[in-house]
Structure 1
């Protein structure tokens, strides 16, 4: 369902008292859901939306009743811009940036006082939003390294230039957390195609695994046998991190889950003839060194003798692309 066409029922303050009891009854009966004071949507429609889609509805609701256009930032901006977000808890409130501390008291809104230049502003379907580069750095500054990497990887994958992210970091040197943002951008890799691949990379760094090749192309005598999410050619071995989405999402499995499973099995059979050591893990393992380390060890991927750092990853990233 498209969250941009979900109908909003807006009750202005002067009319609220006349309809208060009726609205309260409709909410209690499960017919309506209040998304913010004075704004309601049909409960069934709202419940059918994904967390990201519900967040879009919440942003539309705020924009519809705000005294001036809000500037959506951080995780809200990420949702509007189509960037991945790690952690559903960040979508429980709408995030905006304001210039005056007096504007921080909005109900259900996480408002941060921050100066945002004209060049750091954009527009998405009529809503004001921070640019992708500013959004990545804002999230990286105040969140975990892992969370920042997920969004930064997604931005690069969608085509945001690395130089734009580096410029946004340079512009944030006077703000708290900019060094974390600098590390996130240095580590970020646009070849990561999903949040699970991004979190896997962070976990590998923590384990002490040498930087793998992302989207490793494996060839046999008939040509390209397939791509692996992670390649460890020094073993040699390969790794795949899977979620249910590739089998459940109609856009990723247009012919149904069964056909997708068969296709995946045939691809893996060809790949295994060239790369016998192949490990698989899910999203949960991708975020846990304790769970991922033994999976990698079984295919011969073990920590380096020396400590692996972010600099190793970022340096190798640049060298392999010269």
Structure 2
């Protein structure tokens, strides 16, 4: 059976195309269909199934035809549609918001929030009605842990998708909503200088462990003013630089991995000639950052 890769496959559409329930059961049993949710499937070869955010976008597309007409995709589901990175936020449910006063509803695959929605809070992303970037970020920051909120806020600010003032204005319209004080703290802490989720998480870990506030994307210069390299984190008054050693920087377009590693080594060696110290850490060290923090300026 040839399956399209353009979107999720819904049971009514498959039945209309002549596929029987017996065939659907067989395909599910033999792995011929990947199950997204009840009555929603995808081709197992669809590359979007490999990445959690892309799989969630398929789940959103499968849910949209089934939700109420006044519902808009929101919270982390809207963040995914806006192309923002999410870290450690559950993607098992599609989140929507309805402008009603009724209680929220949560099922195995759907979380329907109820809250006021202004016209400026709603936009269209790829033909799907969703909350605006500013409203999405406010909702994510209200309902997620500080570290998770900072990851998505940093990315949105860095990409110029929203301003801090716009975020503060949205939160000002939610004075008594749950989670708003925490959201305000996350917005105040957010910084567009963080270049990746790993750098955002590093910032949070540093703040919690008493590391001195770093300069982000610090240009290290020679005594003559020549830029020797840009460090993820810098403490100019200490002559110290720090690097989050994420895999992203080893996948630059047009370069072989070995060439990138050599270039990174040369860049670091050049910076070390004028620095008192240089500390590098990896993704695996972020969860237990205390040892790294001891090697950074206090």
Number of corresponding residues: 291
**SS of equivalent residue, structure 1 residue 193:** coil
Q: By how many angstroms is 1:228 displaced?
A: 0.5
Query: Which residue in 1 is equivalent to 2:227?
Result: 224
> Which residue of the other structure, out of 230, 240, 245, is the alignment partner of 2:248?
245
Question: Secondary structure, in 3 states, of the residue corresponding to 1:255?
Answer: coil
1:69 and 1:128 in contact (8 A); partners too: no
In structure 2, how many angstroms separate the alpha carbons of the residues matched to 1:266 and 1:53?
36
Q: Which residue number corresponds to residue 306 of structure 1?
A: none
Distance 1:67 1:132, change over 3 A: closer
1:234 matches 2:237: yes
The aligned residue for residue 296 of structure 1 is 293
Distance of 1:217 and 1:27 partners within structure 2: 54
Structure 2 unaligned regions, length at least 5: none
- Worse overlay, 18-27 or 181-190: 18-27
What is the alpha-carbon distance in structure 2 between the residues aligned to residue 295 and residue 66 of structure 1?
47
- Partner residue in 2 for 1:93: 93
1:8 aligned partner: 8
User: Do 2:138 and 2:183's aligned partners in 1 also have CA atoms closer than 8 Å?
Assistant: yes
Q: Deviation digits for residues 56-91 of structure 1, max 9, x if unmatched?
A: 11111112444536411111111111222121x521
Q: Does residue 184 of structure 1 match 2:211?
A: no
Matches within 5 A, 1:24-63: 24-45=25-46, 48-63=49-64
Larger helix fraction of residues = 1
**Equivalent residue of 1:183, what SS?**
helix
Q: Deviations over 1:175-226 (max 9, x none)?
A: 0111111111111111111111111111111111221100001112472111
Question: 2:57·2:81 contact (CA, 8 Å) conserved in 1?
Answer: yes
Q: Give secondary structure in 2 for the equivalent of 1:111.
A: strand
2: CA distance, partners of 1:243 / 1:127: 33
**Residue in structure 1 matched with residue 72 of structure 2 by the alignment:** 71
Deviation at 1:103, TM superposition (A): 7.5
Report if the CA contact (8 A) 1:153-1:192 is conserved.
yes
> Is contact 2:105–2:111 with CA below 8 Å preserved after alignment?
yes
SS at match of 2:86: coil
CA distance in 2, matches of 1:195, 1:18: 43
- Whole-Å separation in 2 of the counterparts to 1:214 and 1:11: 50
Q: Is the 8 Å Cα contact of residues 10 and 39 (structure 2) preserved in structure 1?
A: yes
TM-score, length basis structure 1 = 0.83
Quickly say closer, same or farther: Cα 1:269–1:118, change in 2 above 3 A. same
Post-superposition offset of 1:20: 1.6
Partner Cα separation in structure 1 for residue 165 and residue 74 of structure 2: 20
Could you say if the C-alpha distance between residues 242 and 179 of structure 1 is closer, same or farther in structure 2, counting changes exceeding 3 Å? same
Whether contact under 8 Å (1:31, 1:44) holds in the other structure is no
Cα RMSD of the aligned pairs, angstroms, is 2.4
Q: What is the SS of the residue equivalent to 1:211?
A: coil
How do 1:202-217 residues align onto structure 2 when only pairs under 5 Å count?
A: 202-217=204-219
Question: Secondary structure in 1 aligned to 2:20?
Answer: helix
Alpha-carbon separation, structure 2, partners of 1:253 and 1:243: 16
Alignment partner of 1:192: what SS?
Answer: coil
1:156 alignment counterpart: 157
